[in-house]
């Protein structure tokens, strides 16, 4: 009552209304804020669901295209929720999906998007990982400079965060990239850096791998002494590896190295180790390789009985796993064993089987060896007419492939010469433009002073004369180099054919490993299975496949296989 007397009633009404409106606005704002949080949480959950489903498509069903579609939808939702970290993560996995589809340009595109966002977020760990994969993709595509550039970015970030394992992987991949570009000294230097970090962290498996990589570098560069030296260093750590398949692969490589050195005792020992591990693992490719190696050793020791047993075991397994190349090589070896046993009818039967396989599968490199073995067998029977026919087939096939290779080299020289010629013409045009500009300047100066014009004209004439003489000298030098190159190639048009060399590799400049990978592609098996068959990683198989595509001038497996069939 007293309060009513002091403060009028309308005042209480106004204050009450103000409090009610304020409270209502506050509640509405709160509810609006809650709705916003719920909306974003729902969007993130939707995106997470799509991301998880995409992972299932990619990992379990290998349905990479469907996985990409789902992840692109997830990206849009993550963007709506302003979740940059998850946008970057999803872009990364889209890139990995394109890697599985062997679309490396699209892989690079999405990995670069992930790289940009992670760089903005200062996520150095992810940046180092992503640029490593971008570098791998550029390596496969043959963009060596771009690959090295991204690897170096990865090194900078890895040093910043002190990630030793990432540094090791980056240096290793840099070495592989240099190895594929033929820069063996740089490859060795990079692998030595990786080895240092492995030794620093006492990573026994890493030390083993880096020594093996260095051995391969020296093997590619032709330094057999250092190749074997690093194989011995790798052997010191092979027992530290928990992967029995890797051990079996190494023992096989080590055995072959001992064979080349002529140390058949150690070679025999390591082939047996390959067999022991392969039997435990039920790894048939390893068994076939081990028996094949033992057959070769027994044959070189003239132990024909053991050689026949091992060769038959190898042949049986190669047939079982449908390895056409291995079957043909085993049949050729069987023919040689039978020939030395004076069982020429068996030898000819083996060669006939090998010949049919070579013709049907387009294995011209092995067909040459079949023709030569035919020649040796018929000659031992004094059937000189048949022997002559097969030796002619041998030389004709080799000459045909060698001639094609020489023509390709000449064409390459022509292309390079024409390119240099065009560059020279462009340079001349630039010089002419500069000359015209100088003449215009001289013409303007003519108004100011006649004497200056005379000096300028004389100077300009002298300059043009010197440039002309220099240009003619350069062109003459280029022409002389070109003529000498053509002469050198003409000398090589009819070289003495090397016995037992592989013509398909010579024709397309493929290495033995690339030839083996290409032949395995004809069987329609995956990159991972090819890697298991020849004891290398899936990334290395990708390098080989891309190198094959470049050398065959094809874009995919189908075109590569068609080209292989056409060469039959």
What is the radius of gyration, based on Cα positions, of the chain?
35
Q: Coil, strand or helix: which one is 169?
A: helix
- Both structure tokens of 144: 């060596």
- H/E stretch holding 448 reads helix 384-448
Examine the pLDDT at 565 and tell me if it is beyond 80. no
Residue whose entry in the numeric block shows the structure tokens 């030898």: 347
If you average pLDDT over residues 94-115, what whole number do you get? 92
Question: Which pLDDT value is given to residue 472?
Answer: 61
- Both structure tokens of 256: 């072959």
Lowest mean pLDDT among 170-174, 291-295, 400-404: 400-404
Looking at domain 122-242, its CATH architecture is Alpha Horseshoe (1.25)
Distance of CA 524 to the CA centre of its chain: 19
pLDDT band at 212; cut points 50, 70, 90: very high
Question: Which pLDDT value is given to residue 35?
Answer: 41
More confident residue, 442 or 281: 281
Model pLDDT for residues 73-98, shown as the tens digit of each residue: 999 999 998 999 999 999 999 999 99
Examine the pLDDT at 38 and tell me if it is beyond 50. no
383 class by beta-carbon count within 10 Å (0-12 exposed, 13-18 middle, 19+ buried): middle
* CA distances for 186 relative to 137, 182, 189, 370, 544, angstroms: 20, 9, 5, 40, 19
State percent of the chain over pLDDT 90. Answer: 43
Rounded to 5 degrees, what angle do the CA atoms 450, 455, 461 make? 125
Question: Which pLDDT value is given to residue 481?
Answer: 57
Model pLDDT for residues 482-499, shown as the tens digit of each residue: 545 554 554 444 443 333
State percent of the chain over pLDDT 70. Answer: 80
Model pLDDT for residues 497-522, shown as the tens digit of each residue: 333 336 667 777 888 788 888 888 87
If you average pLDDT over residues 276-302, what whole number do you get? 91
pLDDT band at 52; cut points 50, 70, 90: confident
Asked whether the beta carbons of 112 and 91 are under 8 A apart, the reply is no
Residue whose entry in the numeric block shows the structure tokens 């990573």: 203
Lowest mean pLDDT among 14-28, 43-57, 135-149, 340-354: 14-28
What residue spans define the domains of the chain? 2-43, 122-242
**Beta strand segments in 127-189, E:** none
How does the average pLDDT of the chain come out, rounded?
81
If you average pLDDT over residues 21-44, what whole number do you get? 50
- Both structure tokens of 161: 């965060």
C-beta atoms surrounding 333 within 10 Å: 24
If you average pLDDT over residues 479-484, what whole number do you get? 54
Lowest mean pLDDT among 5-14, 138-147, 254-263, 526-535: 5-14
Question: Which pLDDT value is given to residue 479?
Answer: 54
* CA distances for 31 relative to 24, 34, 36, angstroms: 10, 5, 9
- Both structure tokens of 545: 């496949």
Question: Which pLDDT value is given to residue 496?
Answer: 36
Model pLDDT for residues 416-474, shown as the tens digit of each residue: 445 445 555 666 666 777 777 777 787 778 888 777 776 878 777 778 877 766 776 66
Residue 293: partners with Cβ closer than 8 Å, 6 or more residues away: 252, 255, 256, 259, 267, 271, 274
- Both structure tokens of 36: 């916003």
């Amino acid at each position: 009552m007293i309060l009513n007397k002091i403060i009028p009633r309308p005042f209480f009404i106004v204050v009450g209304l103000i409090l009610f409106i304020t409270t209502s606005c506050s509640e509405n704002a709160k509810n609006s804020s809650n709705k916003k949080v719920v909306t974003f949480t729902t969007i993130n959950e939707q995106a997470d669901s799509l991301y998880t489903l995409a992972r299932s498509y990619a990992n379990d069903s290998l349905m990479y295209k469907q996985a990409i579609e789902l992840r692109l939808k997830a990206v849009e939702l993550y963007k709506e929720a302003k979740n940059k970290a998850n946008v970057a993560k999803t872009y990364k996995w889209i890139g990995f999906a394109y890697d599985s589809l062997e679309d490396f340009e699209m892989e690079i595109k999405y990995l670069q998007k992930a790289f940009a966002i992670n760089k903005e977020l200062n996520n150095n760990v992810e940046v180092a990982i992503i640029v490593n994969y971008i570098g791998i993709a550029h390596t496969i595509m043959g963009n060596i400079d771009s690959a090295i550039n991204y690897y170096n970015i990865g090194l900078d970030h890895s040093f910043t965060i002190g990630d030793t394992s990432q540094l090791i992987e980056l240096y290793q991949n840099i070495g592989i990239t240099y190895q594929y570009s033929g820069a063996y000294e740089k490859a060795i230097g990079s692998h030595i850096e990786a080895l240092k970090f492995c030794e620093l962290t006492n990573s026994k498996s890493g030390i083993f791998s880096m020594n093996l990589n260095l051995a391969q570098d020296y093997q590619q560069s032709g330094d057999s002494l250092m190749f074997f030296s690093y194989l011995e260093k790798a052997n010191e750590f092979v027992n530290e590896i928990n992967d029995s398949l890797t051990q079996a692969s190494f023992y096989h490589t080590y055995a072959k190295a001992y064979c080349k050195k002529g140390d058949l005792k150690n070679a025999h020992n390591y082939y047996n180790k390959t067999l022991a591990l392969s039997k435990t693992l039920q790894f048939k490719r390893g068994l076939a390789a081990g028996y094949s190696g033992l057959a070769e050793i027994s044959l070189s020791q003239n132990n024909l009985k053991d050689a026949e047993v091992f060769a038959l075991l190898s042949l049986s397994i190669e047939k079982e796993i449908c390895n056409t190349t291995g079957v043909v090589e085993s049949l050729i070896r069987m023919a040689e064993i039978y020939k030395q046993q004076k069982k020429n009818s068996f030898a000819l039967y083996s060669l006939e089987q090998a010949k049919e396989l070579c013709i049907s599968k387009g294995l011209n490199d092995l067909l040459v060896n079949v023709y030569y073995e035919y020649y040796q067998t018929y000659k031992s029977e004094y059937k000189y007419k048949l022997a002559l026919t097969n030796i002619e087939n041998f030389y004709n096939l080799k000459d045909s492939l060698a001639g094609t290779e020489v023509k390709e080299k000449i064409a390459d020289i022509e292309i390079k010469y024409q390119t240099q010629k065009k560059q020279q013409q462009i340079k001349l045009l630039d010089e002419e433009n500069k000359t015209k500009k100088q003449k215009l300047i001289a013409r303007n100066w003519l108004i100011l002073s006649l004497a200056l014009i005379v000096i300028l004209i004389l100077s300009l004439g002298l300059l043009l004369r010197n440039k002309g003489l220099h240009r003619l000298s350069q062109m003459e030098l280029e022409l002389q180099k070109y003529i000498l190159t053509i002469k050198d190639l003409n000398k090589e048009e009819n070289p003495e054919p090397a016995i037992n060399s592989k013509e398909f590799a010579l024709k397309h400049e493929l290495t033995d490993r690339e030839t083996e990978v290409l032949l395995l592609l004809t069987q329609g098996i995956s990159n991972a299975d090819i890697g298991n068959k020849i004891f290398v990683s899936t990334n290395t198989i990708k390098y080989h496949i891309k190198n094959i595509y470049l050398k065959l001038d094809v874009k995919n497996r189908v075109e590569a296989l068609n080209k292989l069939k056409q060469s039959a």
